[in-house]
Structure 1
Amino acid sequence: MNTATNAASARNTVAAKGNWLAKLRALALHALNLHLQNCAVIAEAHRRPQ
């Protein structure tokens, strides 16, 4: 999943429509991307030996 592409797509959607549903979609995509980044950091921390 490419976070840069999703973020750009979400911004374009908000700019094109400008309604609350598009803003909600953009917010949900942003939250999902942050969650996936957080999961990747946790997975990397568990993968490395202490």
Structure 2
Amino acid sequence: MNTASNVVRTTPAANTFFGKLRALALHALELHLQNCAVIAEAHRRPN
């Protein structure tokens, strides 16, 4: 699955405030996408 983690790995070390903020936002996005995948899987399965 193509997630934000691929983008995080290709960026240089975050030394600036905005670099750290960007890394934090990408991590939050990845967690959100994982959560969406779990919810989608739960809805896909029959009761």
TM-score of the aligned structures, taking structure 2 as reference length: 0.80
Amino acid at match of 1:23: K
Q: Which runs of 5+ in 1 are unaligned?
A: none
Q: Return the letter of the residue paired with 1:2.
A: N
Aligned residues: 46
- TM-score when normalising by structure 1: 0.76
Q: By percentage of residues, which structure has more helix?
A: 1
The RMSD of aligned alpha carbons is 1.7
What is the aligned partner in structure 1 of residue 44 from structure 2? 47
| Offset of residue 2 of structure 1 | 1.8
Runs of 4+ in 1 over 2 A off after TM superposition: none
Q: Bigger relative contact order, structure 1 or 2, given CA contacts below 8 A and separation 6+? A: 2
